[in-house]
Structure 1
Amino acid sequence: MNNTQRQIAIIGGGLSGICSAFFLAAQGHDVVVIERRSHVAEEATFGNAGLLAPGSALPLTLPGALATLACRFKDEPRVLLAPGADFARNRWMRQTRQAQQHKFAANKLLLARLSAYGLELTRQLQAHYAMENENSQGVFHLMRAPAEAARMEALQQAAQQCELRYKVLDTAGIRQLEPAFSSEAALAGAVYYPDDVAGNCVLFAKQMRNAAQELGVRFHFDSTVRALQPDFGSRVTLELDSPHLPGRLTVDTVVVAAGAQSAALLKAVQMTLPLRALQTYSALVPVKNPDDAPNMALYDESYKVSMTRLGQRIRITGLLGFVPPSKTLPPKALRNLLKIAGDYYPNAANYNQAHFWSNTVGLLPGGMPLFGPTKYGNVFVNLGHGVTGWAGAVGSARILADMIGGETPELDPQGFLPQDLLAA
């Protein structure tokens, strides 16, 4: 155990920031979390799909160029595009497609290992703190398009190397396990992961905040970090707007876990991140017929949409919007979420009583998370986990805490480090 106590500031009160704070405090460090919102888990974490799923944890894939272009005109688009030319968006999407073409299998294996590690840590934490949960066991990964099913071999190889149980199914096989599943939607492929878990990520994040506070972590809300001023081999000064903190705060170490806001802060350490702020959409609907409702979660690869059962509610989350955030949600997104849910469980819920919301998430090309040290040894990052990155965020937080504390991580972080991204 490293007994050298450091003063550490975490920028961001989402799941990545909360868990980083918890594991660092457990090592004996003096930790403060600075969050611009009024509570924890109010941005990207609030839009999390609720999947603790090493099997269905995937690098981001996008439809082909022609399919994406057609999304502007479809009533049921796979992604939402703002009108007009956007060269930065097009470059980001091109980089993502290159990653899925050349690195899909390798990135899938990395994510599966990280998520399996995070799932085990989450189970330990939930058991140790007797946390309330709304967990369900088993996740179906569904593919509508042949191009998606063509990646089945990579999925199976990753599952085998990570010793994850899985089963390739057709529609009849799915209905044997989940009798309420409708066969109306045509599938090109499906994989069932019996040990994957779904649950309430926001509930977990709030309980992790309580656990972190028990270890002495201090949370400061309604507080914005305007800039970082790092020095090589020295301390880091944060410029703040806060009702609780002085305008300048100097600490030994900083962890940037501020989601889509991270890129602007990291310019101070000469790190230019191709971090894209995307919108995702969610619906919460009450169960109408329990016998027709899902008992296990599913993830629709074609539309990037998940369905999870939370007691007497069903959560539907997904779609990607390359559009500005707005209080008025795109009608296409709302129709799409309910259409996809109706494809699989048409009689499960009162879909006309759905409550909708949207969230902004920061994603890197390819959808791989990033964590570890920057070129300044006292500034670290933990970001880019996306809407299905619950397990990965927990795993990366523990690995990051070990690196900061001078310990050898249980899982090799290679492939997720800033130096790996910059070398790619």
Structure 2
Amino acid sequence: MRVLVLGSGVVGVSSAYYLAKAGHEVTVIDRQPASGLETSFANAGQVSPGYSAPWAAPGIPVKAMKWLMMRHRPLVLWPSVEPRLYGWLARMLANCTEEAYTRNKGRMVRLAEYSRDVLRDLRVETGIAYDHRERGTLQLFRTRKQLDHVGDDTKVLDAYGVAYQVLDPAGCVAAEPALGRVKDKIVGGLRLTGDETGDAHLFTQRLAAICEELGVTFRYNVTVTGLQASGGRVTGVACGSEVLHADAYVAAMGSFTPALLRPLGLNLPIYPVKGYSLTLPVMDPEAAPVSTVMDETFKVGLTRLGDRIRVGGTAELAGFSQALRPPRRATLERCVHDLFPAGGDLGRATFWTGLRPMTPDGTPIVGATRYDNLYTNTGHGTLGWTMACGSGRLLADLMSGRAPDIAHDDLAVSRYAA
């Protein structure tokens, strides 16, 4: 079967790999000059099944109001007259119930745990290297209140069999020795021992090279302008004056997928939630993080990627703006300087922003659509790197007529029909 994959981020390239392994003739289309140059380029670097949870949760509306008042706030909302933003927010608020949270968390953990296992198999099979480490994630608590509420998190982790450790300050320092220099700022932590780290951009580019060895064709600098459909099937992809044809199509364009599918009557409730990152060279390896530290107060992740530190955070609702805003940089700089003051060289840091494709229930949209030969693999939010391989393998199985290894009906766009 000839398949066109639209988008060459980590999700699109992972889809192409597993489709090619299943024997399909695959072509990947992207407007960029190479793979992994948009949202996959400089994300926080975490492969975090243990941290897979929807943002929509009980208590979040109250917390969000407090976050908006913070100087170094993890949530930023720009005034807008955009109806889609407020519709998306309304649907997200509707998911802030215990019942919805439990349902959505279950979906996300199921896919994330599967994806981590698939990624490990891929490493064994291909030998791919991407500055990865298997040293877990440490969620760091600065206040006694945060530590006292750790039971809320562990209850959910217990329900889904996710391995963890609740740590006192000494335990945090044992996991991340550089924190010993600032241990007076720590009251405890939650360590998710099964989590991993790695450079998503490096992974995407190296997997794309493996895909080419498998016969996958990549067409870069090609902008998709629309889909053509007839009789319940997609018949072609318009790329300016050129129309490309295939037997099946995969929409994996992240935040830009809804605009592509809307003319076909497919309404994907995805909004671009803007995130920021700093990447700085390590100055002193002994003073830098070993794996990932999540600063619970500011919702900022600090990850070791080889000889670099990646600092990622902020959820900014600002449409498709990709402006690099100095206050967001100040928050990231504050966190890394506060926790790892001698670890990295802030004077040589690079500042980046990307648009995370978020659904209101936190779960990506993976699977078939009401068009017989059109599939989606999008809406992964902050967890595209975490869920990429599992989503790609799942989709390839579905498109190949094989029974997937995990339940999948509640991941497709049809779950929004109700």
Q: Identify the match of residue 322 of structure 1 among 317, 325, 329.
A: 317
Aligned partners of 1:199, 1:129: CA distance in 2, in Å?
16
Letter in 1 for 2:114: Y
Q: Give the drift of 1:74.
A: 4.1
Q: Is contact 2:49–2:116 with CA below 8 Å preserved after alignment?
A: yes
Aligned partners of 2:227, 2:148: CA distance in 1, in Å?
45
Aligned partners of 2:335, 2:163: CA distance in 1, in Å?
27
Q: Where does residue 200 of structure 1 map in the other structure?
A: 199
Letter in 2 for 1:75: R
Q: Identify the match of residue 173 of structure 1 among 162, 168, 171.
A: 171
Aligned partners of 2:161, 2:64: CA distance in 1, in Å?
35
Given the superposition, is the C-alpha separation of residues 395 and 177 from structure 1 closer, same or farther in structure 2, using an over 3 Å criterion?
A: same
Q: Where does residue 220 of structure 1 map in the other structure?
A: 219
Q: How does 1:340-359 map to 2 (within 5 A)?
A: 340-359=335-354
Q: Where does residue 126 of structure 1 map in the other structure?
A: 123
Q: Where does residue 183 of structure 1 map in the other structure?
A: 183
Q: Identify the match of residue 249 of structure 2 among 250, 254, 259.
A: 254
Q: Is contact 1:230–1:237 with CA below 8 Å preserved after alignment?
A: yes
Q: Deviations over 1:202-259 (max 9, x none)?
A: 1111111111111111111111121112234655211112xxxx71122111110011
Aligned partners of 1:148, 1:160: CA distance in 2, in Å?
19
Given the superposition, is the C-alpha separation of residues 365 and 315 from structure 1 closer, same or farther in structure 2, using an over 3 Å criterion?
A: same
Q: Is contact 2:272–2:320 with CA below 8 Å preserved after alignment?
A: no
Aligned partners of 2:363, 2:141: CA distance in 1, in Å?
21
Aligned partners of 1:319, 1:114: CA distance in 2, in Å?
24
Q: Where does residue 288 of structure 1 map in the other structure?
A: 283
Q: Is contact 1:372–1:418 with CA below 8 Å preserved after alignment?
A: yes
Q: Give the drift of 1:299.
A: 2.3
Given the superposition, is the C-alpha separation of residues 70 and 401 from structure 1 closer, same or farther in structure 2, using an over 3 Å criterion?
A: same
Given the superposition, is the C-alpha separation of residues 235 and 331 from structure 1 closer, same or farther in structure 2, using an over 3 Å criterion?
A: closer
Q: Deviations over 1:320-374 (max 9, x none)?
A: 1112555651111001011122332223222233211111222111322110011
Aligned partners of 1:269, 1:18: CA distance in 2, in Å?
24
Q: Is contact 1:13–1:40 with CA below 8 Å preserved after alignment?
A: yes
3-state SS of 1:224 partner = coil
Q: How does 1:82-161 map to 2 (within 5 A)?
A: 82-83=78-79, 88-102=84-98, 103-136=100-133, 137-142=135-140, 152-153=150-151, 155-161=153-159
3-state SS of 1:375 partner = coil
Given the superposition, is the C-alpha separation of residues 147 and 260 from structure 1 closer, same or farther in structure 2, using an over 3 Å criterion?
A: farther
Letter in 1 for 2:242: G
3-state SS of 2:221 partner = coil
Q: Where do 5+ consecutive residues of structure 1 fail to align?
A: 1-5
Q: How does 1:352-367 map to 2 (within 5 A)?
A: 352-367=347-362
Q: Is contact 1:198–1:297 with CA below 8 Å preserved after alignment?
A: yes
Q: Is contact 1:105–1:154 with CA below 8 Å preserved after alignment?
A: no
Letter in 1 for 2:208: R
Q: Where does residue 312 of structure 1 map in the other structure?
A: 307
Given the superposition, is the C-alpha separation of residues 11 and 145 from structure 1 closer, same or farther in structure 2, using an over 3 Å criterion?
A: farther
Given the superposition, is the C-alpha separation of residues 301 and 368 from structure 1 closer, same or farther in structure 2, using an over 3 Å criterion?
A: farther
Q: Is contact 1:234–1:252 with CA below 8 Å preserved after alignment?
A: no
Q: Give the drift of 1:284.
A: 0.7
Cα-Cα RMSD: 2.5
Q: Where does residue 25 of structure 1 map in the other structure?
A: 20
Q: Is contact 1:48–1:388 with CA below 8 Å preserved after alignment?
A: no
Q: Give the drift of 1:140.
A: 1.0
Given the superposition, is the C-alpha separation of residues 269 and 326 from structure 1 closer, same or farther in structure 2, using an over 3 Å criterion?
A: closer
Aligned partners of 1:326, 1:268: CA distance in 2, in Å?
23
Q: Give the drift of 1:114.
A: 1.2
Is 1:41 matched with 2:29?
no
The percentage of counterpart residues that share the same residue type is 29
3-state SS of 1:365 partner = coil
Q: Where does residue 75 of structure 1 map in the other structure?
A: 71
TM-score, normalised with respect to structure 1: 0.89
Given the superposition, is the C-alpha separation of residues 153 and 371 from structure 1 closer, same or farther in structure 2, using an over 3 Å criterion?
A: farther
TM-score, normalised with respect to structure 2: 0.90
Q: Is contact 2:322–2:354 with CA below 8 Å preserved after alignment?
A: no
Given the superposition, is the C-alpha separation of residues 367 and 53 from structure 1 closer, same or farther in structure 2, using an over 3 Å criterion?
A: same
Q: Where do 5+ consecutive residues of structure 2 fail to align?
A: none
Aligned partners of 1:87, 1:376: CA distance in 2, in Å?
27
Aligned partners of 1:135, 1:386: CA distance in 2, in Å?
21
3-state SS of 1:47 partner = coil
Given the superposition, is the C-alpha separation of residues 411 and 82 from structure 1 closer, same or farther in structure 2, using an over 3 Å criterion?
A: same
Aligned partners of 2:390, 2:336: CA distance in 1, in Å?
30
